[in-house]
A and B are shown apart, each in its own frame.
Chain A
Amino acid sequence: MLSLYVPGHSPVHRLPAGVKLLVLAAGSAALFVVPGVAVHAGELLAILVLFHVAGLPWREVLDQLRPALILLVPIFLFHVFATDWVLGLETVLRILVLLFLAVIVTLTTRLSDMIEVLEKAMRPLRLAGINPSKVGMMLSMVIRLIPLMMREAGEILEAQRARGLDRNAIALLVPLLIKALKMADDLSDAMDARGYDPGAVTPFWRGKGTP
């Protein structure tokens, strides 16, 4: 689901990362402000057209999204029984729009470009003693770590299914945490070994800012 950049030269690819991020943020907010089945269906159609324009690999994307798509069925059914099917359709369409919007942005934008935009946007925070490049570094690391942690969590899920529900939650959770913390130690050693220097920024109330 956290698909990463697929190289390409489509107009969607060439759009500046800042613009795409803005569209994503504004678009995902608008989904809730402007409801309606027809509206969402239109949006979904527009996004699918963009998908085609960007030349993204359909099969691969659908494969990655399958777990999310399967989950939409019970959500729809829930609404059919609890409220009504129109609301269900609207909810499902909204999730689809959101998913594809996020996917289209992440697949056509280099993560490094996105993070660069964010770092630029965060520059004023230096005054408060926050180093934007450190925040950018951490964002990169989260993206790097999510698939690894999901793999671990997925294994827990499998084990739980095999052994019966919840009984072994702790026995499964603790090894995951210990393994993850060990990994954090190694990772920070590896960063230090490659010369990473987090570099502090002085907030304005403590005198001169560092370059």
Chain B
Amino acid sequence: MSTRDMVLIALFAAITAAFAVFPPVQIPVVPAPIVVQNIGVMLAGAILGARRGGLALLLFVVLVALGMPLLTGWRGGFGVILGPTGGFVLSWIPAAFVVGAMVEKLWSRLNFWNLLLCNVVGGIVVVYALGIPWLAAVAGLELGQALAGSAVFIPGDVVKAVIASLAALVVKRSYPLIGR
């Protein structure tokens, strides 16, 4: 791993943390407030690729677990990781990795639609696949209840996937970091 890789990994951990400054957004159609932070997960994967993107989020989660209040709403600490939403936070590590792995595969013919697919699969499907069972287990809910409770966030997450895809495409043009 080069010095530059290390800086990039640290940078996207810091960017994800910085997105905590955005307060949860309430938009009319969606009943639950949208947290902006997980856009950092998609961006890390889509811009850095699997390995570096995954490590960036690993670094971020380690700092959160140590007690740094880096999650939206200034939450942090091992308690959050063990709590009902901990699965979502932990899922960010494989999520960024999956987004990155898919983007790497599609790199030479990347366009908005297949990039959106990467972000939806990695940034939404992976996150829910891990987060929802965790939520159900910790909060003592039926899987269906947990799913229903989380489904309200899906529209917001799709909006974020669109934004992340558009942004990552522009960045790819001026700052390609994956192709070699």
A interface residues, Cβ below 8 angstroms from B: 1-2, 21, 24-33, 67-68, 71, 75, 95, 98-99, 101-102, 105-106, 134-135, 137-139, 141-142, 144-146, 148-150, 152-154, 157, 165-166, 169-170, 173-174, 177-178, 180-181, 183-185, 187-188, 191-192, 196, 198, 200
B9 to chain A, nearest CB (A): 6
Question: CA of A79 to CA of B59 in the docked complex: distance in angstroms?
Answer: 32
B62 to chain A, nearest CB (A): 8
Task: Tell me the nearest residue of chain B to A145, going by C-beta.
Answer: B14
Q: Which of B7, B25, B43 contacts A184 (CB 8 A)?
A: B7
**Binary CB contact string for chain B from 32 to 76 against chain A (1 if under 8 A, 0 otherwise):** 000000000001000100000000000110110111111001111
When the two chains form their complex, are residues B69 and A98 in contact, meaning their CB atoms are under 8 A apart? Answer: yes
In the complex where A31-B77, A187-B7 touch, is A102 in contact with B67 (Cβ < 8 A)? Answer: yes
When the two chains form their complex, are residues A138 and B3 in contact, meaning their CB atoms are under 8 A apart? Answer: no
Task: Tell me the nearest residue of chain B to A141, going by C-beta.
Answer: B10
**Number of residues in B with C-beta < 8 Å to the partner?**
51
Question: CA of A137 to CA of B1 in the docked complex: distance in angstroms?
Answer: 13
B21 interface hit (Cβ, 8 Å): yes
Known: A144-B10, A174-B170, A183-B11. 17 other contacts (CB 8 A): A25-B67, A28-B76, A32-B79, A71-B74, A98-B69, A98-B79, A134-B6, A138-B6, A138-B59, A141-B10, A145-B10, A146-B70, A149-B15, A149-B17, A170-B170, A174-B167, A184-B4
When the two chains form their complex, are residues A146 and B167 in contact, meaning their CB atoms are under 8 A apart? Answer: no
| Interface majority SS (helix, strand, loop, mixed), chain A | helix
When the two chains form their complex, are residues B14 and A198 in contact, meaning their CB atoms are under 8 A apart? Answer: no
B23 interface hit (Cβ, 8 Å): yes
